[in-house]
Amino acid sequence: MANKRSHGRAGDPPPLPEALPVPVVDNHTHLDIVLDAVPGTPEEALAKAASVGIDRVVQVGVDVASSRWSADLADAHPGVLAAVAVHPNEAPMLIGERFEAALAEIDELASRPRVRAVGETGMDFFRTQGSDELARQELSFRRHIDIAKRHDLALMIHDRDAHDDVFRVLAEEGAPRTVVFHCYSGDVSMAHKCAEHGYYMSFAGNSTFAKAQNLRDAATAAPRDLLLVETDAPFLTPSPYRGRPNASYLVPLTVRALAEARGEDLTELCTALSDNSERVYGPW
């Protein structure tokens, strides 16, 4: 199971939402874990998403095995692109030759044509603690930045309780041409800082939660041309289905919540979100 996180989702999958007027991308999903939570085939999951206007996805790896699976899935399906990495909570468990071997394979996978991002990588001060573990996590982040720059791929960042240090490392290493803060968790001030650097901000289902006004405020502050949307499925199922299994077909719930928070026309926002995704990852 990716990142050794229990999917922890109970109950039946939520019903299909109303389709979006313009197709949009799920910029971050873990379809391998989705299919563990709700058995089925990738084809069925992708078709279900496409039926409500989510016609493209970015399938994200969190270790060597899931990154390889992601790259293979992208090769097999025209609506899928892949991101490959060792997750920041996995990296501290890899020491010495195991770490070097894992990074070498991520580097090799990054050369495949339908791998368009290095991620998810970054820093996580919530699950990973202890000076040695955090040092190895930071080293891994730096190495992933190097891989992204050498392959000219987007860098997909996992940032949990580590905003200042993530920005510090990006500044010290020199950020790749394209940076995405996956499952954006900062405030309005950080949104302005991301905008200054041209970093993309990808909002997930947690931005719909009743107590997440801070995320909706940040989404409102983000320039439209730096805005993305994602599921992080099967996690962070949008309201009103929080706690049930998440999947790409539920992106419309988040998109509609973002349109309402920003006071924007839904069709115009969908068009912008689609254009932004193609600018980050290239054509599907």
Query: Binding site for a divalent metal cation: residue ranges?
Result: 28, 30, 120, 158, 182, 232
Residue 110, number of CB atoms within 10 A of its CB: 24
H or E segment and range at residue 24: strand 24-29
Which contiguous run of DSSP H or E holds residue 55? strand 54-60
Contact 249, 48 (CB under 8 A): yes
What DSSP character marks residue 14? P
Contact 92, 70 (CB under 8 A): no
From the annotation, which residues make up the binding site?
28, 30, 120, 158, 182, 232
Residue 160: Cβ-neighbour burial (10 angstroms; 0-12, 13-18, 19+): middle
123: left (phi over 0), alpha (psi -120 to 50) or beta: beta
From the list 24, 25, 57, 79, the residue with the least C-alpha distance to 270 is 24
CA-closest candidate to residue 83, choices 100, 71, 95: 71
